[in-house]
Chain A
Amino acid sequence: MDNPNITAHTVTRRNFFKLLGGGVAIILTWSDLFATGEIADDKSIAAWIHIQENGKITVFTGKVEVGQNIRTSLAQVVAEELSVPVNDIEMIMGDTMLTPYDRGTYGSLTTPTMGPQLRKAAASLKDALADMAAAEWKTDKQSVKVKDGKVTGAGQTLSYGELTKGKKITIPLNDKVTLTPAEQWTVAGTAVPKINGKNFVSGKHKYVSDMAVPGMVYGKILRAPSYGASLVTANVDKAKASPGVTVVQEKNFIGVTAPDPQTAANAIARIDAQWTPSPQPSKANIFAYLKDNARQNDSGKSAKEAAEKAFAASTIQVKQNFEVQYIAHVPLEPRAAIAIWENGELTVWTGTQRPFGVQEELASAFSIPKEKIRVIMPDTGSAYGGKHSGEAAVEAAKLAKAVGKPVKLVWTREEEFKWAYLRPGGLVEVAASANKDGSITSWEFHNYNSGNAGIDTPYEAANTHIQFHPSNTPLKQGSYRGLAATANIFAIESVMDDLARKLKRDPLEFRLSNLKDERLKNVLQSAATKFGWKKEKKAGHGYGIACGFVKNSYIATCVEVMHDKATEELKVIRITAAYDCGAIVNPLHLESQTLGAILQGLGGALFEEIDFMDGKILNASLSSYRVPRFTDIPPLDIVLINRKDLPSAGAGETPIVAIAPAIRNAILDATGIKLYTLPLIPQGLKTNS
């Protein structure tokens, strides 16, 4: 532990300066963030910024870095408001002892919630420095200037550190403080490169899977052969006989520890276990299963009847089911954890989007108060919504407790595919109709299992009936980039194209005529202009367009595909996207997020799918589960629309939602073939046509 005097593993107002040294700190509460009106006790603290006596500025936030580069963007907004270079800021993130409670880094929440509040906190802190200097120099606050890391006034100049020396002051957030408008940003809004980038290209950054602690042994868990299988007997004698190996057995949990990972894997392989399987649905019947097991939803009966009536009365009708397969996040760094028990207290390093959630998981697994548990999250090898949970942390801690030594546990790729969770599969049923003038008369939309995100149509429709039906998933499922919006917007945008074709209308113009949202219209037009929507196509080529919005950010994507009739080969030729997420905090990293999401979405659009039968994942490897690679990448053109007049929204999710329907609509344009599944063409176009 860093400080043996701290018994409760949480920094509080009371022990803040004792633990972190003197200076001036501003404490930001959750009620500042969400205006919940809760009393600002220690638990409600959301973040803090601390200027130490030596001038070091430290920001403490429970948010975590998984490659989205918020370590950089949050430092930028603080540097901007405090008027210091970005390199003067140190970000302490995702450590349950050092940082305040945070429910997790997901749902594109960091930029719209933590970002503006850190700005306000930094601005309040700067304002307080002026107050302090004015009082000390017995001068008027108006004559004190706080700029470029220095406080000047009354003929004197002090650095922030010199001014705060010897003080132990906490400052409340000043709600009335003036923030620097985006138009005047000089640090925020610029292309600051990844903080500590050099550590990553030199291999020096320690991901959890790279870490080692003294006396550590390596853990490995015995896995069931399929979901729902129960252990009958296990003979662990041969495993026990391996030198250095300890077998840990608690009911159905069997694991080993060994001096090195290979010895641990060899020992697990020597366990002779008998399992009883249980009946499980397979990929072949999954969509019927999801619908049969869906919870009925009888609400909105009159809306349903009105939509059905309008549908029946309309001449232009589209009625279609969509099937969306389960897909895997495949974070390149699989789950990993190191667990240490000391005097009944537990410290765990693990890659997770929810360090405080993992702390709670551990508290419940071991029936100890969470104050006795510290979870630390070093910058991690990606997540994409796939690392909300703490499986590896719990397993490592179980083994560590049993063997009385620190234990490191790194999941294999196969374990990550089989025992983490997936983006839900789903069935979407749509019935939509239009008048000959192109106005949409009815829109009935049911999603089974994948979720609510992006389920509402952005288009004007006279009658709507839209429902999500939760179901029983046979596979572990959870969060994913954009979550259900990848399924729902695929269905919405495919139906819009089908309607446009029945009406003999241009798909872009048909969308624009049914939209009221100016930002969505703007990205559609920007993408189409840049793409050259009206440009003539070569024979066998097709254009497709799609758009969507999630959490206050807007994407439109245009795609050109080429279909070679002789070879049946289908190729994505180029992609153009326009994206608006408000005021841009870092154009370099926003572009990375946008192109990364679109190209990741290319996998789910074209070929990614989990294959499973009788409770077994059949393609649990990177040689059998296909993800986008270099040769899959078409030229990509991205237009970032910088709305300095609007708040910044999170950008990690939305750009993924429009690529699949845009490709689907381009295939339709090139071939006349209407596809209603994700992935679109896992075996090439032929088998799906």
Chain B
Amino acid sequence: MKINVNSTDYTLDVPDNTTLLDALRVHLNLTGSKYGCGEGACGACKVLIDGHAVPSCITLVASVQNKAILTIEGLEKDGKLHPMQQAFLDADAFQCAYCSSGMIMAAIALKARNPKPSRQEIVEAMQGNICRCCVYPRIINAITHG
């Protein structure tokens, strides 16, 4: 099985029902995407597949073989944070920060299709991402400015 993650090609030998999340975390040691629920309900595992934010925990790795997969590890360029990562940092938009990777990936996808989202558009687009520490207002700030 071949997949392309962060512009790098990888060959994997994994059980058929392996999720993209396990493939990334266990087999490629890309652990920035997190496990939170295993049913696509919390957003901690979100990655971009051809630009769309998708929960990797309910995506079989076999189904994304010819797609461009982007994870949190692929955002930094020349040691510089992506503007959305910087916005999260500047807004202190986290407490335990376990949700941050998925939040940032979902926010990047939102901004790509809607560069200036309103508060209402942000909360609707981000509804699939849970911050259990509930610092939602700070995350909304970060996305507005990111």
Contact = CB atoms under 8 A, between A and B. Distances in A.
Contacts of A472: none
A621 interface: yes
Interface-centre pick from B14, B130, B139, B140 (highest chain A CB count, 10 A): B130
Contacts of A381: 34, 96-98
A198 interface: yes
A285 B85 CA distance: 49
A621 to B, nearest CB: 6
Interface stretch (A117-125, A292-300, A630-638): A630-638
A628 B134 contact: yes
B39 A623 contact: yes
Interface residues of A, number: 60
Interface in A556-600: 588-589, 592-593, 595-600
A167 interface: no
Contacts of A69: 95
Nearest to B104: A201
A517 interface: no
B101 interface: yes
Interface string A330-365: 111110000000000000000000000000000000
Given A332-B42, A621-B39, A623-B39, A600 B134 contact: yes
B1 interface: no
B22 A209 contact: no
Contact of A207 (B37, B39, B98, B131): B98
A419 to B, nearest CB: 15
Contacts of A233: none
B15 to A, nearest CB: 5
B21 to A, nearest CB: 10
Interface in B92-114: 92, 94-101, 104
B44 to A, nearest CB: 6
B124 interface: yes
B73 interface: yes
Contacts of B89: 193, 197-198, 201
A473 to B, nearest CB: 23
B17 A595 contact: no
Nearest to A633: B136
B118 interface: no
Interface string B1-37: 0000000000000110111001001110111111111
A202 B76 contact: yes
A629 interface: yes
A382 interface: yes
Interface string A197-213: 11011111111011010
A535 to B, nearest CB: 22
A379 B97 CA distance: 10
A636 B138 CA distance: 11
Interface stretch (A255-263, A454-462, A671-679): A255-263
Given A621-B37, A622-B39, A630-B127, A203 B31 contact: yes
A201 B130 contact: no
Given A260-B22, A589-B92, A633-B123, A600 B100 contact: no
Contacts of A200: 94, 97, 100
Contacts of B18: 260, 262
A595 B137 contact: yes
B77 to A, nearest CB: 12
Given A200-B100, A205-B97, A595-B137, A621 B41 contact: yes
B132 interface: yes
B62 to A, nearest CB: 12
A266 interface: yes
A484 to B, nearest CB: 21
Contacts of B42: 332, 413, 622
A262 B132 CA distance: 26
Interface-centre pick from A207, A630, A631, A636 (highest chain B CB count, 10 A): A630
A621 B38 CA distance: 9
Interface string A106-145: 0000000000000000000000000000000000000000
Interface in A178-210: 193-194, 197-198, 200-207, 209-210
B129 interface: yes
Interface-centre pick from B14, B32, B104, B136 (highest chain A CB count, 10 A): B136
Contacts of B34: 207, 209-210, 332-333, 381
Interface in B37-65: 37-39, 41-42, 44
B123 A201 contact: no
Contacts of B44: 332
Contact of A331 (B29, B41, B129, B132): B132
Contacts of B140: 630, 633
B98 A382 contact: yes
A644 to B, nearest CB: 23
A412 interface: yes
A627 interface: yes
A212 B100 contact: no
A579 B104 CA distance: 30
Contacts of A597: 134
B68 interface: no
A67 interface: yes
Interface string A229-271: 0000000000000000000000000000000111100100000
Contacts of A384: 132
A218 to B, nearest CB: 8
Given A262-B22, A622-B37, A633-B137, A201 B98 contact: no
Contact of A260 (B26, B33, B101, B133): B26
Contacts of A204: 32
A97 interface: no
Contacts of B136: 599, 628, 630, 633
B122 interface: yes
B124 A600 contact: no
A194 B92 contact: yes
A598 B133 CA distance: 10
B50 to A, nearest CB: 20
Contact of B26 (A198, A261, A592, A602): A261
B96 A380 contact: yes
A596 B95 contact: yes
A410 interface: yes
A324 interface: no
Interface-centre pick from B19, B33, B73, B137 (highest chain A CB count, 10 A): B137
A464 to B, nearest CB: 35
B32 to A, nearest CB: 2
A598 B137 CA distance: 12
Contacts of B32: 202-204
Interface of B: 14-15, 17-19, 22, 25-27, 29-39, 41-42, 44, 71-73, 75-76, 81, 85-86, 88-89, 92, 94-101, 104, 122-124, 126-127, 129-140
Top 5 A-B pairs, shortest CB-CB distance: A203-B32, A67-B96, A381-B98, A200-B97, A210-B31
27 contacts: A67-B97, A68-B95, A197-B89, A197-B92, A201-B81, A201-B86, A201-B100, A203-B31, A206-B31, A218-B26, A260-B22, A332-B42, A332-B44, A332-B96, A333-B98, A379-B96, A380-B96, A381-B34, A381-B98, A413-B42, A589-B92, A595-B137, A623-B39, A628-B134, A630-B124, A631-B123, A633-B137
Given A203-B33, A332-B131, 7 more contacts: A197-B94, A203-B73, A266-B17, A413-B36, A629-B129, A630-B140, A633-B136
